[in-house]
């Protein structure tokens, strides 16, 4: 996390330097406009330790702090995690930790890097080319190394895919043609597709929800219904090769459902 904080600090300093340089040539009127366009910085946070220790999450805490009994249970299974910038940290790292502890091989798969046009005024760190950004609720907190890109993977290489949530991550994924193609082909093969929180909207974009039972974050449930799905208010819903959950508090149920499905198959 020290490295991440250093990167964020460097980015802030760079942004301030750029602002100061621009300000030197601006009139007081222009500076006043800039001040009105900017807002004060304040963020909401959901640190992992805080989530695990929150009242009502005792079972979630026990899930992570109880050692796995059989480290070979999923040996030979290969799982692709489809994720992009803005993924909810615990919704990716939690299932990945569990699946790896059970012996599965897990790859982080992201859309190939596509820099924004210069006119967007977007500044990204160099590591954004082969890393994706994690968030805790709405707060960027770190970066995760990508193993493969979505344009290079094949269905027969994996036994399952899962997609973490985070409001930004699924929005980035559902626009990527390689991700959508892969999800559609994976579904046709009858292999496991799992999605948590906001991630089921990616499945809606892939048009694979008609007549399926599922769940998802409360804000997207109407989207899932409009895509033809039957939304249930449960921590986890299993319908054939589809597993879905609602929220970070459901990570344990979600992870166990993935494990159980893979063992049965």
State the catalytic residues.
Answer: 197-198
Task: Give the Cα separation of 4 and 250 in Å (integer).
Answer: 27
Kindly report the three-state secondary structure assignment for every residue of the chain. CHHHHHHHHHHHHHHHHHHHHHHCCCCHHHHHHHHHHCCCCCCCCCCHHHHHCCCCCHHHHHHHHCCCCCCCCCCCCEEEEECCCCEEHHHHHHHHHHHHHCCCEEEEEECCCCCCCHHHCCCCCHHHHCEEEEEECCEEEEEEECCEEHHHCCHHHCCEEEECCCCHHHHHHHCCHHHHHHHHHHHHCCCEEEEECCCHHHHHHCCCCCCCEECCCHHHHHHHHHCCCEECCCCEEEECCEEEECCHHHHHHHHHHHHHHHHHC
Task: Give the Cα separation of 54 and 45 in Å (integer).
Answer: 13
**Which residues pair with residue 245 across a beta bridge?**
196, 236
Torsion (CA) 195, 42, 19, 24 in degrees, nearest 10: 160
Question: Tokens at residue 28, please?
Answer: 């007081």
The residue written with tokens 């994706």 in the block is: 132
């Amino acid at each position: 996390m020290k490295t991440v904080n250093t990167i964020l600090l460097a980015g802030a300093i760079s942004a301030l330097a750029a602002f100061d340089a621009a300000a030197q040539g601006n009139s007081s009127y222009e500076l006043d406009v800039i001040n009105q366009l900017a807002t004060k910085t304040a963020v909401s946070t959901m640190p992992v330790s805080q989530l695990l220790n929150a009242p009502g999450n005792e079972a979630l805490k026990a899930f992570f702090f109880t050692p796995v009994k059989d480290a070979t249970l999923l040996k030979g299974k290969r799982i692709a995690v489809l994720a992009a910038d803005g993924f909810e940290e615990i919704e990716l790292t939690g299932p990945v930790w569990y699946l790896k502890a059970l012996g599965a091989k897990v790859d982080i798969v992201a859309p190939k890097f596509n820099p924004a046009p210069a006119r967007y005024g977007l500044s990204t760190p160099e590591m954004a080319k082969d890393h994706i950004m994690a968030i805790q609720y709405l707060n960027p907190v770190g970066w995760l190394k990508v193993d493969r890109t979505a344009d290079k993977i094949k269905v027969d290489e994996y036994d399952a895919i899962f997609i973490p949530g985070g409001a930004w991550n699924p929005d980035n994924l559902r626009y990527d043609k390689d991700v959508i193609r892969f999800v559609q082909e994976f579904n046709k093969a009858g292999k496991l597709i799992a999605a948590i929180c906001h991630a089921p909207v990616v499945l809606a974009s892939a048009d694979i929800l008609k007549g399926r039972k599922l769940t998802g974050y409360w804000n997207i449930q109407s989207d899932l219904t409009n895509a033809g799905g039957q939304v249930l208010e449960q921590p986890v819903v299993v319908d054939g090769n589809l597993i879905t959950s609602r929220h970070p508090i459901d990570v344990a149920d979600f992870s166990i459902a993935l494990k159980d499905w893979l063992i049965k198959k």
